[in-house]
A and B are shown apart, each in its own frame.
Chain A
Amino acid sequence: MKKIFNLLLGVVTSIGGFVEAGSISTAAQGGAEFGFALLWAIAVATIILAMLAEMAGRGATVSKQSMAAAVRQRFGFHYQMIPLGAELIIDLLLLAAEIGGIAVAIRLLTGAGFQWWVLPIGLVVWLVLWFGNFTIIEDGVGLLGMITVSFIVAAWQLHPEPKAVATGFIPSIPDHDLTRYAFLTVSIVGATVSPYLLNFYSSGAIEEKWTEPDLWINRTTSYLGMGFGSIVSMGVLVTSAVVLGPLQIRVDSYEQAALMFVPAFGRWAVTLFACALGVGCFGAAIEITLNAGYVLSQSFGWPWGIDKARRDATRFCTAFTVVLLLSVLIAVVGFDPLQMTLISVALTVVIMPLVVLPFLVLMNDHQYVKQHKAGPLANGFLAALTIVGALMALVVIPLEIFGG
């Protein structure tokens, strides 16, 4: 009974924690510019994420090692330093973008200026990590994040034409701006399949002390949690498509995106959007910061864990503090959070093949997953994903230049 409750909680928190700066901005732009035509991209990206997350959780549960630890151990530091270095850079930018997103949300709510909000926001993120533990952080973030369900509510209220929505799930070639369409497709994938999520998820399996009998929880949380979470993303896209599309608004800022709530929520539009954006970004900021601590400690072999006493994992604490500080500095400089989001999303796609390739090896390695190996279908998927990922990695920078 307790396990069922925990499972439900896990699924709910996955929904609440799904959308953040990357998914909101790419879905909002996708909807405004191409109507429902990019819904399939969100669906496909979510399936990819769910499969990879399930594998990451499986490996960590069976071997008691996170992804980063397993990659160092199995591939050595020479291989790892490239995806590790790249992931840290992406995390710094993405974290700065999330913090910026929270600052924009506060400005939408209070009207008060932007840059200097970043410092207290950074402090609050740090305080939550310093005094919290894994359960409080995961459940707190997820439950607060339920406010993002307002995107689903808004989409529902707008009564979009069901057949038109359904057609959006079939991949199609648009009749205008092919490069832009391709760029947004790739960006949606990059925004959804963030590398930090995979290591975070595998570290979480260890923090929660899952064992092999819990593997069904891992599977269910991955597929159901992320599946339902993607509906929130789709809500963003549909709402944007119905409201902003006809107005020919190209979403260049979060302020513009907020307009999508006006028909559904009237005078509450900006407040609700700001809360959903702020909470979504706050949850992501906490996870990215924590994951920076995880990935550095696990790669270098330091003791780690948010449930450990802080004095027993000093390098871990110092690592996430330093990363948070650097991101706050980047955000304070005042780069546009939306632009930073799009850049980090593009970089995510560039390193994706290097992140996926280890899965192909580890999921077939008895030392890592024992008898829970990937079947031929999963291996086929991973191989295909590595190749497709490599192709996307090659085109994303040119696409960013020509379609971004």
Chain B
Amino acid sequence: MEEHGLTRTIDVVHDVLDKHIVDRNGREMGRVDGISVELRGGAPPRLAEVLIGASVLGSRVNAVVGRWVQGVEHGLGIGEERPVRIRFSHVDEIGDKVKVDLAVGETGSETLERRLRTWILKIPGSR
């Protein structure tokens, strides 16, 4: 990552991919599992969205694995909100972690955690 006056240059794989991503309050949202790029004929490709989700990771292994994980997510009832897509324009800071100017609740990144919580709260000692 280098600073050149007003512009900043990043190495996308080294600086963004697989990094922790946090919301504007510093709360964990997961990791950058994937990045989508918009190809524009005649103009440089633009980083479109940060993607978070197990199916995204799965498709990095193999397209078939990705679809299978998507199936599992649908089965768990979280399919519609996955993968979490965050437009790159929301990325505030790229440092040790990637910081976005959204709050965790505005994205679907906590859905599975919350769903499991409803079951876990039924177990005594879940504090």
Contacts and interface: CB of A to CB of B under 8 A. Distances in A.
Direct contact between A and B in the complex (CB less than 8 angstroms)?
yes
A130 B120 CA distance: 11
Contact of A315 (B13, B19, B116, B127): B116
A302 interface: yes
Contacts of B126: 309-311
Interface residues of B, number: 28
B33 A314 contact: no
B18 interface: yes
A317 B31 CA distance: 19
Contacts of B30: 300-302
Interface in A245-267: none
B5 to A, nearest CB: 24
Interface string A129-157: 01100000000000000000000000000
A73 interface: yes
- Choose among B18, B30, B52, B57 the residue with the greatest number of A CB atoms under 10 Å from its CB: B18
Contacts of A216: none
Contacts, number: 60
Nearest to B97: A73
Interface stretch (A75-83, A92-100, A184-192): A75-83
B123 A130 contact: yes
B38 interface: no
Interface string B112-126: 111011001101011
A263 to B, nearest CB: 46
Contacts of A309: 126-127
Contact of B113 (A72, A81, A303): A303
Contact of A314 (B28, B29, B96, B120): B120
A318 interface: yes
A310 B120 contact: yes
A401 to B, nearest CB: 30
Given A300-B57, A301-B31, 9 more contacts: A76-B17, A76-B18, A131-B125, A300-B31, A309-B126, A311-B121, A314-B117, A314-B120, A317-B120
B54 A310 contact: no
A183 to B, nearest CB: 33
Interface of A: 69, 72-73, 76-78, 81, 130-131, 300-303, 309-311, 314-315, 317-318, 367
A364 B123 CA distance: 45
B127 A73 contact: no
B20 A314 contact: no
A73 B28 contact: no
Given A78-B60, A81-B61, A300-B57, A72 B31 contact: yes
A265 B18 CA distance: 55
B116 A314 contact: yes
19 contacts: A69-B20, A73-B18, A76-B13, A77-B60, A300-B57, A301-B52, A303-B113, A309-B127, A310-B123, A310-B125, A310-B126, A311-B121, A314-B112, A314-B116, A314-B117, A315-B112, A317-B116, A318-B116, A318-B120
Interface string B36-67: 00000000000000001010010011000000
